[in-house]
Amino acid sequence: MGLGTVVVTGAAGNIGSVVRGALRGEVERLVLLDRVPLRAEAANEEVHTVDLRDADAVETALTGADAVLHLGGLPDEAPLAHLLDVNVLGTHHVLEAARRAAVPRVVLAGSNRVTGFYPTAHRTGPGEPVRPDGLYGVSKAAVEALGRLYADKFGVSVICLRIGSFEEAPTEPRHLATWLSPRDAVGFCRAALAAPLSTRFATVYAVSANTRRFWELPAESELAYTPLDDAEAHAPHLADTDSGSSPEAPQGGPYALPEFTLKHLRP
């Protein structure tokens, strides 16, 4: 019961569903938000159908919370106006509600795609300049910037998780570098929620301990979690894992191709 009352946005999503089951027995109260209707599955669960663009509804749902795990938003490339409306404005509403309700800790779901244009041969750290591989990455860079603002200006303790490729198991060669297993996703979220409030702001890559990973794992001083899984164990089940691409190819892979974004721009 050490985590008190935790609010999870995007609770009906892939990561939200897994984290919900894991946290249920560790919190006093689990408040679940999504625009998709949910049903409470335990006595300590409370569900709200909320659109994150509704600032008043978000603030009401966050009242009395000890921490927020903000997973809600558009999860992939889309027109920039939609991404700004849902991902950026929605995150602003969550952070502003946390400020107004004096919620001490907010964990934001960022994305590895804020740095997708670094080459695959480069081990990227969270302190390097962002190089988004698309409009979605741009929106997540803005999410991180909002988190930094609320940490610096208003004293909210914010941790941004740059989430890798969340899958039950790797399904393509790129995942040998980018995979985030369900077990490690829960571990990162739990550690971010429980980190000391003296951590005013941190950005960390949430990725499994993949041998071929592109990104630096967080130091113990940043987040008290060491990932357990390695995508390499699944390499024998994937085709063409050794053919590889150029070491100068972008980490974002297909997400960095012009066609991936052009279909969301005016012709």
Q: Which of 53, 60, 4, 61 is nearest to 31 (CA)?
A: 61
The verdict on whether 205 is a catalytic residue reads no
Q: Which one, of 75, 42, 88, lies nearest residue 255 by Cα?
A: 75
Buried/exposed code over 82-112 (b: 16+ C-beta within 10 A; e: otherwise): ebbbbbbbbbbbbbbbbbebebebbbbbbbb
Radius of gyration in angstroms for the set of CA atoms belonging to the chain, rounded to a whole number: 18
Q: Are 200 and 159 in contact (CB under 8 A)?
A: no
Let me know: does 76 contact 139? Beta carbons within 8 Å. no
For the chain, 267 residues long, give each residue's pLDDT as a single digit of tens. 479 999 999 999 999 999 999 999 999 999 999 999 999 999 999 999 999 999 999 999 999 999 999 999 999 999 999 999 999 999 999 999 999 999 999 999 999 999 999 999 999 999 999 999 999 999 999 999 999 999 999 999 999 999 999 999 999 999 999 999 999 999 999 999 999 999 999 999 999 999 999 999 998 778 999 999 999 999 998 977 655 578 999 999 999 999 999 999 998
pLDDT value for 50: 97
Q: What is the pTM of this model?
A: 0.96
Confidence at residue 239, expressed as pLDDT on a 0 to 100 scale = 78
Active-site position among 118, 136, 150, 255: 136
Q: How much is the pLDDT for 219?
A: 86
CATH architecture of 5-262: 3-Layer(aba) Sandwich (3.40)
Paired tokens of 181: 């297993």
Alpha helices in 13-157 (DSSP H): 14-23, 55-62, 80-83, 89-100, 135-154
